[in-house]
Structure formats: structure tokens, C-alpha cells
Amino acid sequence: MMNFVVKTIANAGALAVAIWLVGDITLTGDSTGRKVLTLILVALLFGLVNFVVKPVVQLLTLPLFVLTLGLITLIVNALMLLLTSWLADVFDLNFHVEGFWTAVLGGLIISVVSWALNVALPDKD
């Protein structure tokens, strides 16, 4: 359970950094509390997408992974971020990613920041 909480906090932190650095990734809300709640819900949604959909996409793109020496991972991460944005819209969360190249940059930032946060935060069950 602790591992789940740590990963959700890392996802939320990484998403917050991407929202802060990339102008076309937006999170809106009436108050700071509403924004934090939305960010946590989007982090949960992003974690769910990465847990369920990403392994299937990675398996299907395995030949491209080998061919591009892993660079296809940037595209897969961008697609997961765009899927999260679409699902956030479906669930009426105020989170939006504008365009594919914004998603590529956001996915890169989220990958780096979440990796750093997962290294820094404890990983206990």
C-alpha cells in the first residue's frame, strides 16, 4: 500500500513539474485545494493508464523498440499522456494536453522527474 502511495505522489509531482514547465499542459481549478485534488486524481489516472495500457502498447511496439534503440519509448509516453488527457476530459477533470509534440515534451519531463522522485522517495510495502 505504501508503494502505491509513493508512486502516486511521484506521478503527481512529475505532472506538476510538467504543468509548470510546459505552457500547453494545463490544470485549472477554482482554488488551490481543487487544483491539488485534480492533480492527485490525474496522477491516479495516469498511473492506471501506465499500469494497464502501456505494457500492451510496449509489447506491440517491441520491434520498433529494437529498431529505434528505445527512442519509441518517447512516443509511447506521449501517447499515454494524451490518453490520460482524454480520460481526464471524459471524467470532467480540468487537465488538458494540447497537441502531440507538447505530449512528447511533457512525457519526457514526467519520465525524468518521476524517475528522480522514485529514487528519492522510499520504496517500502
Q: What is the mean pLDDT of the chain?
A: 89
Mean pLDDT for the stretch of residues 36-53: 92
Does 125 score more than 80 pLDDT?
A: no
Contact of 89 with 27, CB cutoff 8 Å? no
**Cβ burial, residue 94 (10 Å; 0-12/13-18/19+):** middle
Which 3 state secondary structure label does DSSP give 26? Answer: strand
pLDDT above 70 covers a percentage of the chain that reads 95
pLDDT given at position 124:
65
Does 32 score more than 80 pLDDT?
A: yes
Cell 509516453 belongs to residue: 77
Does 1 score more than 70 pLDDT?
A: no
Label residue 117 by pLDDT band (50, 70, 90).
confident
Task: Express each pLDDT in 61-88 by its tens digit.
Answer: 899 889 988 888 889 999 999 999 999 9
